[in-house]
Amino acid sequence: MAFNFILMLTENDLTIPDASARLEDALEAGARHIGFKDVGLPFEDLHSLAKSIRTAGGRSYLEVVSLDKESEIASARAAVDLNVDCLLGGTRAAEVTEITRDHPLRYFPFPGRITGHPSVLEGSVGDIVASARRLADLEYVHGLDLLAYRFSGDVPALMRQVAQAVSKPIVVAGSIDSEDRIRTVAESGAQAFTVGTAAFSGAFQSGASFIDQIRSLLAITADAQALSSAPRKLALVAHNDRKSHLRAWVLRHRKALAGHNLICTGGTGALVMDTCPELNVRRLQRGSKGGDQQLGALVATGELDAVIFLADPTAPHGSDVDLQALTRLAIMHDIPMALSGSAADLIIAAFLPPD
């Protein structure tokens, strides 16, 4: 995922009573990553929220704040029934993954020791980092939900150390109420952050409407993305008659691409590895053997930041089928996609700005 702002329709760790009305405002303002807690509204209302987010083309999140085992397991089952895209929070990963493992949702539990309501993160930095490693090693854990600003110690150090310790994405949640904190989150290597109460209290633009608060948050997020130290995941593909174009493009941007993760179909991956052996390349199957479908699966599960597919406009019509399918998924899941070199340059400028 890129550096994303997740709006939580919550205050004080409870889903707000007028969440449905606020959702309409949030969508009008441009928010696309939207979530709610497992407490505060009846299940029927949460179901309606999840459906509305999905219908609008957004990505939905349910965050678990219940501390007892029975409630957490019930919330995991609710996440499956609600068909949300991501389940955030909770502390019983072994039990929860038994419920979520056969569902397409992405699961991000809390590392560390969580107490109280609103939730607080306790323990030493070392203990929390060790917890993060253990959780990230679990197959059906897709990332971590770090309550960094609910920690009483050195928060920037905590975020940096957790980000360095695990390769899976980190969402920073709880008490993010200023532009400075958002910038610090970006610099730490986290891939996303949540804001709930602060968006409703006017913390980001005093006296402004809720819609303008969200627009302000989106602008802050866009600026902070330039500071993000999280490695990006970029798909690189090229039709045969555009592979020389891709080679030239990779050579031009090899410095910006260094340290990031490039996912390529087989032939393209071999080309990139031969051209710039220092780059991090993961090769999938060749396009003719299902590589494009493998990329589509990564788009569908939110594991790519962008797709760069240098397409040959003169290729036979049959070559368009996989490209059309991949384009459809990119649109559906709101993933940037470039089909030409100049468009790919814009993605580099947005995601990987020069030092």
From 292, 312, 322, 334, the catalytic residue? 292
- The distance of Cα 283 from the centroid of its chain, to the nearest Å, equals 22
- The distance of Cα 135 from the centroid of its chain, to the nearest Å, equals 18
Q: Is 292 designated active site?
A: yes
- The distance of Cα 282 from the centroid of its chain, to the nearest Å, equals 20
Q: Nearest to residue 37, comparing CAs of 10, 68, 7, 74? A: 10
Q: Nearest to residue 190, comparing CAs of 235, 150, 133, 231? A: 231
Q: List, in sequence order, every residue forming a beta bridge with 306; answer none if it has no partner.
A: 234
Structure tokens at 279: 């780059």
CA trace torsion 258, 260, 264, 270 (10° rounding)? 30
Please say whether the beta carbons of 2 and 351 come within 8 A. yes
Distance CA 9, CA 308 (A): 34
Please state, in angstroms and as integers, the Cα–Cα distance from residue 333 to each residue in 71, 81, 206, 327, following that order: 31, 20, 33, 10
Count Cα atoms within 13 angstroms, Cβ side, for 354: 4
Distance CA 248, CA 238 (A): 12
Residues recognised as catalytic: 292
